[in-house]
Amino acid sequence: MRDEERVWKVSQIDEEAGERLCRALGMPLLLARLLVARGISSPDGARRYLSPALADFLDPYLLADMERAVRRINRAISSGERVTVVGHEDTDGLTGTVVLLEILRKMGAEADYYLPSRVEEGHGLSRRAIARAKQRGSALIVTVDCGVTDSHPVAEAGRNGIDVIVLDHHEVIAPLPSAVAVVDPKRPDSAYPFRGLAGVGVAFKTAQALVAGADRGPRAEWEQVAPDLLELVLLGSIADRVPLCDENRVAAVLGLKAFEATERIGLQALKHGLKGEEDRDLRAMELVQGSISLIASARSEDGGNDGCELLLTHDSASAGTVVTKLRKESERWHAAARASFDRVLKMLDREIDEPIIILVNEEIPYYLLGHCASRLRKLYMRPAILIGKRGAGLAGEARGPKWFDLMECLATSDELLESWGGHKGAAGFSLSRDRLPAFSDRVRAYAAERIDPVDLQEILRIDIEVGEGELGPDLIKVLAALRPYGEGNPAPLLLARTVDVTSQGPRCVVKAGGDSISLIDERRRSSWTDLSGRPLQLDIVFTLGDSDELLLVDCRPTFLNE
């Protein structure tokens, strides 16, 4: 979308609340105003947001069925039963698998893992996973980031003499499976105060419950164990785009600190490999995003996964070998992703009239459907569904903006789909070819009824307008205090009005009053001068990038906003 089509919306904040918070905590007024813009106006709320502690985590036993899950796991440990953790082949499921596996082994369990291949086995508790668990002599399967819609596989495991505990965070769209326990904050009967946990977050809460024990008391052991797990919770939560607020904010802030000081051999190898690709020092969030990208490239084979092995290893040499392999896999993945998305774009007109995009292309690899759908959503600012081939049938991935509920949309086609599930903003499904026309018609009708053309405008939601003296040397430090950024806690957008451009180019310098800031202009906008060649005064929107440099997001001549 062209810059001039963007709509600027500046948050209206309680300036007096910002001043009170500034005085109460002795913080910069700019930081206090940014917190108020995010709904945080009390000193205690600001403390929890900026400097959370382990004590800020909720009681894990508030999650439905957590007590049953802990009791069954403890029984397996005490009786020497083998436990198999079955995860999901993405960064969230992979990190969640490692979190649970490590805590089980620390507590003395005989435990292994199985990560089904998305391409060959699909999402969830697969028949191969059950067969492998039975072959290994497992008496208990614990699913991570999957299982809440797996009623038939759970029943099959039971027929094979294997109990199942489900740890999941996806929406519940059918009766719960007949598992020993189903721990999911999105259960309709859940009293848990926060629904937004990632799969790795649910695994972490289970680890917290296991260490705390039935008396739920504080344990010094938990304070020692938690940081090693929180660095994984950070990676999985950001990768799965769960909202980084409430309990996820606690995990993300503490996880980022743990990540920066990590002693985990696999993460050290990842960071070393990423730094070796650059001719400059990488910042913490650049390393986080780079690590997520490399871990995401790990593919499962026969239940094993290089990403899991990397995070579990204690051997530096093997870690380096795996990172080298993952870098090559990542390069291949990105090349295939670019080619696939180019193929998708050729199917579209540049201007899209329909409120939802539905495309079918059986040449797109199944594992890239979600990536391409996500890019379509971002490019055209509307829901996108991409359908491809999986086995003898079809499978689709859907991605949508915050204001569109994909789960509600897919529910209207429940009887047409063989399987479906996911979240409000990201979902997947499978269907037979003969039902594709009816499915497409129903989804288009649903979207036409609920999407207004106004919804399709690109809106820049600006946190605050900065005033005189707020563009000083502490600006970057203040913005960095809101990290880590992510879904539900985006990088703040700031508006500065009537600034003078003193230097132009890929890196420009603007001046307001006695302060000046340097900005990276990735779009290389045209020269900001009037017809006589004199510099124009601008209104600019900017933010802080992962590299700790300010980024120019949008700009307009001041006279256009007067």
**pLDDT computed for residue 196 by the predictor:** 96
Placement of tokens 């971002």 in the chain: 378
**pLDDT computed for residue 3 by the predictor:** 45
Q: Helix, strand, or coil here: 215?
A: coil
**pLDDT computed for residue 318 by the predictor:** 96
In words, the CATH class of domain 3-11+459-561 is mainly beta
By the 8 A CB rule, do 285 and 259 touch? Answer: no
In words, the CATH class of domain 347-456 is alpha beta
**pLDDT computed for residue 8 by the predictor:** 94
**pLDDT computed for residue 530 by the predictor:** 62
Q: Provide the residue count of the chain.
A: 562
Task: Tell me the C-alpha to C-alpha distance, in Å, between residue 52 and each of 46, 57, 307, 341, 459.
Answer: 9, 9, 29, 40, 31
**pLDDT computed for residue 524 by the predictor:** 62
Low-confidence ranges of the chain (pLDDT < 50): 1-4
Phi, psi for residue 89 in degrees, rounded to 5: -80, 65
Q: What angle do CA 383, 387, 390 make, to 5 degrees?
A: 145
pTM for the whole structure: 0.90
By the 8 A CB rule, do 38 and 479 touch? Answer: no
pLDDT digits (tens, 9 = 90+) for 30-55: 999 999 999 999 999 999 999 999 99
Q: Domain map of the chain by residue range?
A: 3-11+459-561, 56-216, 347-456
Please state the three-class secondary structure of 299-334 as a single string.
CEECCEEHHHHHHHCCCHHHHHHHHHHHHHHHHHHH
- C-alpha 319/C-alpha 310 separation (Å) is 6
**pLDDT computed for residue 218 by the predictor:** 56
CA atoms within 13 A on the CB side of 223: 7
**pLDDT computed for residue 457 by the predictor:** 86
**pLDDT computed for residue 256 by the predictor:** 96
- Cβ-Cβ contacts under 8 Å for 199 (sequence gap 6 or more): 87, 88, 92, 93, 96, 144, 145, 146, 167, 168, 169, 236, 240
Amino acid at 436: L
Phi, psi for residue 375 in degrees, rounded to 5: -70, -35
Domain 56-216 has CATH 3.90.1640.30: yes
Amino acid at 141: I
